[in-house]
Amino acid sequence: GFAKLDFHREERQGYPEVVFGEGKTVYQIIEIIKVLKARHRRILATRISPEKAAAIQKEVENLVYNETARTLFWKNAEEQTILYQGYVAVVSAGTSDLRVAEEAAVTVEAMGCEAVRICDVGVAGIHRLLDNLEIIRNATVSVVVAGMEGALPSAVGGLVSHPVIAVPTSVGYGANFGGLSALLSMINSCASGISVVNIDNGFGGGYNAALIHRMANEKRGEQQ
């Protein structure tokens, strides 16, 4: 059969199993998490409203809810959260972009990597970005989150030489067309080293960044 092809996802240390919570009932999420706990060391659930989170936490122990990111995270008690050296920079433009940036940061952490958050550094006040340049440059990879005109990834991309994962958000109004404006900006960026995920897909931004970070950095507390 196909077993030889090893299609089945092996359980790799530090890779969370991820549940997309939108459109799932509290009951369904609880059942899924219970099953996953037996086989995985880390579980991440995204798009969980505060009400759902409270109900789920009553039935499952040790779930950490992040209100901004709207995520639930669980890990085996013996498991360390951060497994790798170095860090991923999660850079965001405005206050309203925070929920997406936080989804990215939480995903990075769920993948066993450290996330350093740099917030409110949109291009309309470029000095705020420059003030944080050292910390961004020293990251392995940046996740850059912006709505409205979505210009921040271009500015960051021009200042760093590592890969930038750009996350457009639906923040804005009028001719932003639910994030299309930011998405087009990022796809058309004149800076090199930028690639883009879906509108509001903080999870995707964080997941891509962590995949890169893990390959590029050694594990903490061990010599590879």
Ligand X SMILES: Nc1ncnc2c1ncn2[C@@H]1O[C@H](COP(=O)(O)O)[C@@H](O)[C@H]1O
Interface residues toward Mg ion, by CB under 5 A: 157, 193
Number of residues assigned to the chain: 224
Cβ pair 83, 220 in contact under 8 A = yes
Binder among 95, 138, 161, 188 for ligand X (CB under 6 A): 95
- For residues 80 and 173, give the distance between their C-alpha atoms in angstroms, rounded to a whole number: 42
Q: Total residues contacting its own copies (rule CB under 8 A)?
A: 79
Indicate whether 71 belongs to the interface with its own copies (CB under 8 A). no
Nearest residue (CB) to its own copies, 2 versus 61: 2
Binder among 201, 209, 213, 214 for ligand X (CB under 6 A): 201
Using CB distances below 5 to 8 A depending on partner kind, what does residue 122 bind out of Mg ion, its own copies, ligand X, none? its own copies
Nearest residue (CB) to Mg ion, 112 versus 157: 157
Binder among 36, 37, 47, 81 for ligand X (CB under 6 A): 47
Q: Which residues pair with 87 in a beta bridge?
A: 114
Site mask, its own copies, residues 73-112, x = CB under 8 A? --------------------xxxx----------------
Binder among 11, 50, 62, 173 for its own copies (CB under 8 A): 173
The dihedral region occupied by 43, where left means phi > 0, alpha psi between -120 and 50, and beta the remainder, is: beta
Using CB distances below 5 to 8 A depending on partner kind, what does residue 14 bind out of its own copies, ligand X, Mg ion, none? none
Indicate whether 211 belongs to the interface with its own copies (CB under 8 A). yes
Residues that bind ligand X (CB under 6 A): 18-20, 46-47, 95, 192, 201, 203-204
